[in-house]
């Protein structure tokens, strides 16, 4: 088992393929189509995080977010079209210890507890999990009654 990514959840080969699919789907439904990406801005970047067992990227230009793809480290918002950035792609920053973060989060039985933010290390994640396990062993089992 692994945390969800764009590739695993949406079966798309990279972010660009997903953007093209999304734009075509909106056009077929006669809905407003976001602008197509126009180049790359190498002065900005967005960091991934894990939310409910999914690697996601928060849009730095609007309140939207989208699944991340570890093999395509670019981001373009499908909601705002990255308009505040001239409709350009930006880089996506993944943590060097992504595999260790994922391994630790997958030890948590509940998907809603599989969360990680940039700056958290695996030691902190392990302490959170172990603390919850100890609490549940002592108190939590009584909550099921």
pTM of the model: 0.83
Residue with tokens 């950035």: 85
Q: In the chain, what are the helix, strand and coil shares in percent, each to the nearest 5?
A: 40, 20, 40
Q: Which pLDDT score, from 0 to 100, does residue 93 have?
A: 97
What is the DSSP secondary structure assignment for residue 89, as one 8-state letter? E
pLDDT, averaged per 10 consecutive residues of the chain (145 residues), comes to 82 78 91 90 97 96 94 91 94 97 94 95 91 73 59
The strand ranges marked E within the chain are 40-51, 54-58, 65-67, 74-75, 89-93
pLDDT at 9: 78
């Amino acid at each position: 088992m692994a945390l969800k990514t764009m590739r695993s959840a949406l079966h798309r080969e990279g972010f660009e393929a997903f953007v093209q699919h999304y734009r075509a789907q909106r056009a077929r439904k006669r809905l407003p189509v976001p602008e197509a990406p126009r180049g790359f801005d190498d002065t900005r970047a967005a960091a991934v995080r894990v939310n409910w067992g999914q690697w996601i990227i928060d849009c730095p230009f609007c309140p939207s977010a989208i699944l991340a793809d570890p093999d395509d480290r670019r981001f373009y918002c499908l909601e705002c079209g990255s308009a505040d950035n001239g409709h350009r792609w930006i880089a996506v920053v993944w943590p060097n210890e992504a595999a260790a973060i994922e391994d630790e989060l997958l030890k948590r039985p509940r998907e809603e507890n599989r969360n990680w933010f940039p700056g958290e290390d695996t030691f902190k994640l392990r302490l959170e999990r172990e603390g919850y396990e100890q609490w549940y062993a002592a108190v939590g089992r009584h909550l099921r009654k």
